Amino acid sequence: MMLNSLVLMCMAATQQGELRPDAQVLRVPMEYASVQAAVDAAVDGDTVLVSPGRYVECIDLLGKAIELRSESGADCTTLAGDGCGSVVCMISGEDASTSVEGFTITGGCGDVDSSGVRRGGAIRILGGSPRVSRCLIMGNAADEGSAMHIEDGAPTLRDCWFYLNVGWPQVRCDGSEPRLIRCGFEGDGIAWSDVGMITIRDDCGPAGACCLRGYCVMTTVDACEDAGGQWRGEHVACAGDTCPPPCPADASGDGVVNMTDLLRVLDAWGWCP
C-alpha cells in the first residue's frame, strides 16, 4: 500500500492541531490495540489519537461526539478496510462535533443494504453532519458512492483528495447537502467547490507540489511518485499555474504525447463497451 514506507519517518513528526484541554486522549496502539476499541471506550468530548501505521479494520463512530485523528497525517496513517464493508461509518446521527482527520482511507467495498446494493466504499454517512478533513480517500469500490455515500446528511469535507475509487459517482448524495471546501477529485466525481491548495499531509517529511492529472496536491515526493504523479519540487506550493491542465491526447498519462499514446488508441479501436 502506498505511503506506508513513510511510517518510520513519521514517528518523529509532531501534530499541528491543538487538543482540547478538557479532552481525554485515547491513544492507538499504545493504550488500545485497535481504533475501534478506542472508539468503543471514548465518551463525548474525547479524542482518539492514532499513531502512524496501517490499521486493517472497519470503524463505526457510534454516534459519539469525538475526534478521530491521526497523529501525523494521511501520508503516515492508513485505515484499510480490506473488503470488510465501509471503512468508516457515521450512521447514528453524528453532528459537527464528530470529526475524522488525517487518514488515508482505502480498501473499502461499501455496506450492503436490504436491496443488495453496496453503498459508501470508504465512508458512509447517514442522517448526520460530521466533519472529515485532510484525508486521502483512494482505492475503494461500491455500487453507489465508490468513495462516500451520504444519505439525509450535511457533512463538511475539507482538504480531502479522492483518487482511484472504482465506480461512479465517487460521492453519492441522497437527500443530502454536503459542503466541500478545497476538495479535489481525480476522474469522475461530484466536482469540487472552493478549490484552492489541497493539502492531504501534515508534518511527515518535506512537502511539495504534486501534479495528478492536472490537479495539484501538497504531499511528499514518495507519496507523489507512488500515486503516479509528477513531483514539482520540495517546498513548491500549489498555485494556479503549478500544474498544466490535463491533455486528452496523453492516453498513457506520462505527460508526453507520443507513439505509446497512439498504440493505446489503436489497441482500443472499435465500439466502446
The answer to whether residue 197 is domain-embedded is no
For residue range 110-121, what is the model confidence (pLDDT) as tens digits?
999 888 899 999
The answer to whether residue 199 is domain-embedded is no
Instruction: Determine the pLDDT at residue 81.
Output: 92
Split into its structural domains, the chain has a count of 2
C-alpha distance across the termini of the chain, in Å: 30
CA dist 64 and 55 (Å) reads 21
Domain carrying residue 163: 4-192
pLDDT interval class at 124 (50, 70, 90)? very high
Q: Which of 132, 167, 192 is the last residue of a domain?
A: 192
Sheet containing 198-199: order of strands: 198-199, 215-219, 208-212, 230-234
For residue range 12-23, what is the model confidence (pLDDT) as tens digits?
343 344 445 667
For the domain that residue 65 is a member of, what is the CATH number? 2.160.20
Residues 215 and 185 in one domain: no
Contact status, residue 76 vs residue 94, Cβ threshold 8 Å: no
Residues 163 and 240 in one domain: no
Integer-rounded Cα radius of gyration of the chain: 19
Q: Which of 192, 219, 236 is the last residue of a domain?
A: 192
For residue range 27-76, what is the model confidence (pLDDT) as tens digits?
999 999 999 999 999 999 999 999 999 999 999 999 999 999 999 999 89
Residue of 61 and 267 predicted with greater confidence: 61
Q: Which of 192, 224, 252 is the last residue of a domain?
A: 192
pLDDT interval class at 253 (50, 70, 90)? low
Contact status, residue 252 vs residue 242, Cβ threshold 8 Å: no
